[in-house]
Chain A
Amino acid sequence: MLLNRLVQAIPIMILATFLVFSLLQLVPGDIATTIAGENASEERIEEIREQYGLNQPFLIQYGNWLLNAVQGDFGKSLLSGEPVLETITRVFPNTLFIVIYAVVLSVVIGLPLGILASSKPNSKLDGAIMGFSSLGVAVPNFWLGMVLVSIFALGWNWFPATGFVRPGESFTSAIWFATLPAIALCTNGIAEVARQLRSSLVEIHSSQHVRTLHAKGLSPTAILWKHGLKNVSVNLLTVISLLFNKALAATVVVETVFAIPGMGNTIVKAVLEGDFPVVQGAVLAMVVTVIVVNLVTDLLYTVLDPRIKQV
């Protein structure tokens, strides 16, 4: 089962590398010019083209790149010379920390909201929570980040405005620094969790099964915990993996607002500077992460709901 899934993921990953590689081949600016640095001569640029194999056919370039990438060599930054793999291993944990923090917040806040909303469907409370959810989906994360910085960091000085501390250095400061970015990232997640939970719970509440339990005299809370949440866990899992992927993508802008040395910031900077190997490596790392998360989700389904195994 696991093996099967993994084997299925491999062609997707190879396809992903190919797509990333070919998309970035569109680069109008000359990569060799970027490597050569400012005001290099045409001869030097030609030399570099030769040296980096930039004048070879596209497929050969891709083959070489893939061969190296499989061995963990994603090339070096054109601008600073740092190996791309090193950059990724350095900055990815930061991004992951914030994303996981945001996902945890989404669940922790979204779960009670969803339960609350479902307890009295179509009530005012339900309406308010669902309205809030709609806002949570529509708000631009980076703008929310700016508003949070303006109020909580610059205005009231409760949180730092920018920067990041690695959890390894000091976990409490890491949390302190990551709180505003995580809040900026989690609105979408809160909304999705609350909505999904609400609709699943409402459905369950109205189901024959629960009605029977209710008739048997079980308290609503007990029903909720014993049967409701267990049954919605599969749906919830889907939502969580989806919002993990969304939050990961949203870091691209949010990290810029908070100056967090993460994947998003790295990609944006590399794109603006035309640092092709970094863009390629970093995008690929994100894609692979998404694929792995999806894989893990699929596996968890089978754990949560044994019925899926047979299908």
Chain B
Amino acid sequence: MKKKDNPVVAEAEGFTLRRREFLGMLTGVAAVATMAGPSALMAKVMDNGGILRVGAPANPSSMDPATGGSGSDHVFLFPVFATLVEWDYDTLKAEPGLAKSWEYPDSKTLVLNIREGVKFHDGTELDAEAVKFNLDRSRTDPRSNIRSDLASVEKVEVTAPHEVTVHLKSPDTSLPLVLSDRAGMMVSPSSIKKFGEESDRNPVGAGHMKFVEWNDGDRIILERNPDYWNKERPLLDGINFRIITDSSTRLRSVMSGQNDVAYQLEGRQKPLIERGGSVEGVYGATVYCFQIYLNHASGPLSNVKVRQALNYAINREALVRASMHGAGEPAYMNLPSSHWAYDADVAELYSYDPDKARKLLAEAGYPDGIELDMRGYNDQGSVQRQEILQGMLADVGIRGTFKTGTVPDMSAAYFARGEGDFLVSAWTGRPDPSLTYALLYAGDSYFNAGKVEPPEGLMEAIRASRSTADLEERKKAFSTVQRIVMENALVVPLAFREDIMAAVPKVENLQTNLLGKPKFKHVYLES
């Protein structure tokens, strides 16, 4: 029960300047127009935002934010559950949500001021008591999958009808952003009492959409919440999600008009989106990182030279080109180049060099190469990625065949039971880089499959990054963290995914975000 996150599904991280900002320069005019637009447009679209039909890639694991386990749930959860804290789409900087403000009176206390007059869909009052109920449920309920998100919380106290004081075990400045995610999604306490375990299929929140229907693997229907607290925006009349797991089919559904929007498309579909006149593309960088998790407890991978050889053997540029059709960024560390904590020097460490990889293998005592027990997932995209990696590794003498399976099966086998030498998976990031590093490399962490003690100095550097709020100092600390991780080759980062959405032209205000999990709050349909 150490960790409840799934690597491909964990939460993303913010604070960054991203490609979006760069794109913003190109599309500045349009951006200004849409920014200025809402107040003018509002009156017109206020009551008539239309019903947005969305092609979604996966069936949610649960519609209860506390019990779900999959990162693909968020897109369905965001409209139904308003969060205490929200974030800026481009930078993921914390912004007021249901909590209209917050402060740290001291480093171990967080005070949240809850917006007044907000009601859940079932009419229950959203007050400090409701917030406390949610936070306590999330951190203590045995069914909660996000207990570790709130691990730093000692006690939650209602200090006024609309004021919640959170007492912390240790200083934790990442908490507000944690409350922008699952832990901050407020569920109606009376609905939890009413539905019990059935809460998974009966979501009642305070978001801009009310839940209507969920047909497994088929569709999720939401309708407008007329009592949504924030009146100052155009509102959709409803959202109809259609679950279409295959990305080709998902895009096709938009191209032939059965859906208005499809998200999480693949790079190879980009030319297609741009070619067709019937759809428009919306792109944006994400912190979602494909990577190879290494179990270096024993076997050849316990030798740092072999791990380095792996890093040298991967032609990341070619991987991005072949598996993502260029829609991504080669990853040389756990943070993308646009991230504030990115260190360009560390990124220089492993440029593609198969000769060096072979040499390192020989130095490590394997002149004839090695055989590894490779693990991966069984969806088409993963299969293709694994095929490419297999080819590149075989080229330097690292051989093996992939054992593939479903995400839960393979993750349980690899992380919990320590099977296999490596797992090709992904890390979607966390609200703060310090969480990413601690979760990935701490000796007792779930994601450290071999439960190997981290190299000297790593945990100290992570702690140092948390002890200050000054960005420059934090950046310095993360450079140290990053260098230790990559010099010891604890991981093989592969590529950061670009979020690719396709929409019909009448969809307005559709934006990607750094998290790669679209919110449709500002979207409306041109009538």
The interface of chain A, by Cβ under 8 A from chain B, is 29-30, 33-34, 36-44, 77, 79-82, 86-87, 90-91, 149, 153-154, 157, 160-163, 256, 258-259, 261, 265-266, 269, 272-274
B137 contacts partner chain A, Cβ-Cβ < 8 Å: no
Chain A residues with CB below 8 A from B3, complex form:
39
B201 contacts partner chain A, Cβ-Cβ < 8 Å: yes
Interface string of B244-260 (1 = CB under 8 A from A): 11100100110111100
Structural contact, B256 and A274, CB atoms closer than 8 A: no
The interface of chain B, by Cβ under 8 A from chain A, is 1-6, 9, 59-62, 69-70, 145, 200-201, 214-219, 242, 244-246, 249, 252-253, 255-258, 378-379, 405-409, 411-412, 415-416, 446
Structural contact, A273 and B406, CB atoms closer than 8 A: yes
Closest beta carbon of chain B to A157's beta carbon, Å: 7
Give the complex CA separation of A211 and B4 in angstroms: 80
Structural contact, B217 and A266, CB atoms closer than 8 A: yes
Structural contact, A80 and B216, CB atoms closer than 8 A: yes
Instruction: Specify which of A29, A40, A87, A149 is in contact with B216 (CB 8 Å cutoff).
Output: A87
Chain B residues with CB below 8 A from A154, complex form:
252, 255
Instruction: Specify which of A39, A82, A90, A160 is in contact with B6 (CB 8 Å cutoff).
Output: A39
Structural contact, A40 and B406, CB atoms closer than 8 A: no
Structural contact, B61 and A41, CB atoms closer than 8 A: no
Chain B residues with CB below 8 A from A153, complex form:
252, 256
Give the complex CA separation of A256 and B379 in angstroms: 13
Q: Count A/B pairs, Cβ under 8 Å.
A: 115
Structural contact, A77 and B216, CB atoms closer than 8 A: yes
Structural contact, B245 and A269, CB atoms closer than 8 A: yes
Structural contact, B409 and A261, CB atoms closer than 8 A: no
Structural contact, B217 and A38, CB atoms closer than 8 A: no
Chain B residues with CB below 8 A from A77, complex form:
216
Instruction: Specify which of B2, B245, B246, B256 is in contact with A160 (CB 8 Å cutoff).
Output: B256
A-B contact list, 8 entries, CB within 8 Å: A36-B412, A38-B412, A39-B415, A39-B416, A41-B2, A42-B416, A269-B217, A272-B406
Give the complex CA separation of A82 and B60 in angstroms: 11
Give the complex CA separation of A174 and B244 in angstroms: 18
Closest beta carbon of chain A to B98's beta carbon, Å: 27
Give the complex CA separation of A154 and B272 in angstroms: 11
Give the complex CA separation of A258 and B253 in angstroms: 10
Known: A90-B215, A162-B249, A259-B246. A79 touches B258 (CB 8 A): no
Give the complex CA separation of A37 and B145 in angstroms: 10
Structural contact, A81 and B69, CB atoms closer than 8 A: no
Chain A residues with CB below 8 A from B411, complex form:
38-39
Closest beta carbon of chain B to A143's beta carbon, Å: 15
Structural contact, B217 and A272, CB atoms closer than 8 A: no
Closest beta carbon of chain A to B5's beta carbon, Å: 7
Give the complex CA separation of A154 and B214 in angstroms: 30
Residue of A nearest to B4 (CB): A39
Instruction: Specify which of B1, B216, B218 is in contact with A43 (CB 8 Å cutoff).
Output: B1
Chain A residues with CB below 8 A from B215, complex form:
82, 90, 261
Give the complex CA separation of A80 and B377 in angstroms: 20
Chain B residues with CB below 8 A from A162, complex form:
244, 249, 252-253, 256, 258
Structural contact, A39 and B5, CB atoms closer than 8 A: yes
Give the complex CA separation of A269 and B244 in angstroms: 11
Instruction: Specify which of A33, A41, A82, A160 is in contact with B409 (CB 8 Å cutoff).
Output: A33
Structural contact, B408 and A37, CB atoms closer than 8 A: yes
Chain A residues with CB below 8 A from B242, complex form:
163
Closest beta carbon of chain A to B76's beta carbon, Å: 12
Chain A residues with CB below 8 A from B245, complex form:
269
Instruction: Specify which of A33, A44, A87, A259 is in contact with B1 (CB 8 Å cutoff).
Output: A44
Closest beta carbon of chain B to A279's beta carbon, Å: 13
Structural contact, A163 and B258, CB atoms closer than 8 A: yes
Structural contact, B59 and A34, CB atoms closer than 8 A: no
Residue of A nearest to B219 (CB): A261
Closest beta carbon of chain A to B362's beta carbon, Å: 37
Closest beta carbon of chain A to B292's beta carbon, Å: 18
Structural contact, B256 and A161, CB atoms closer than 8 A: yes
Apart from A82-B214, A154-B252, A161-B253: 14 A-B pairs, beta carbons within 8 A: A29-B406, A33-B412, A37-B61, A38-B408, A39-B411, A39-B415, A40-B412, A80-B60, A80-B217, A82-B201, A162-B244, A162-B256, A162-B258, A259-B249
Chain A residues with CB below 8 A from B415, complex form:
39
Chain A residues with CB below 8 A from B256, complex form:
153, 157, 160-162
Structural contact, A79 and B2, CB atoms closer than 8 A: no
Give the complex CA separation of A161 and B253 in angstroms: 7
Closest beta carbon of chain B to A32's beta carbon, Å: 10
Q: Give the most central of A34, A79, A160: most B CB within 10 Å.
A: A79
Q: Give the most central of B215, B217, B256: most A CB within 10 Å.
A: B217
Instruction: Specify which of A34, A37, A81, A258 is in contact with B201 (CB 8 Å cutoff).
Output: A81
Chain B residues with CB below 8 A from A87, complex form:
216-217
Chain B residues with CB below 8 A from A86, complex form:
216
Residue of B nearest to A177 (CB): B258
Chain A residues with CB below 8 A from B59, complex form:
79-80
Chain A residues with CB below 8 A from B60, complex form:
80
Residue of A nearest to B276 (CB): A154
Chain A residues with CB below 8 A from B246, complex form:
256, 259
Structural contact, A161 and B255, CB atoms closer than 8 A: yes
Give the complex CA separation of A157 and B145 in angstroms: 45
Structural contact, A39 and B446, CB atoms closer than 8 A: yes
5 nearest CB pairs, A to B: A38-B6, A161-B252, A259-B249, A41-B1, A82-B216
Known: A79-B59, A80-B62. A34 touches B409 (CB 8 A): yes
Q: Give the most central of B9, B216, B218: most A CB within 10 Å.
A: B216
Q: Give the most central of A37, A44, A91: most B CB within 10 Å.
A: A37
Chain B residues with CB below 8 A from A274, complex form:
405-406, 408-409
Structural contact, A33 and B408, CB atoms closer than 8 A: yes
Closest beta carbon of chain A to B491's beta carbon, Å: 17
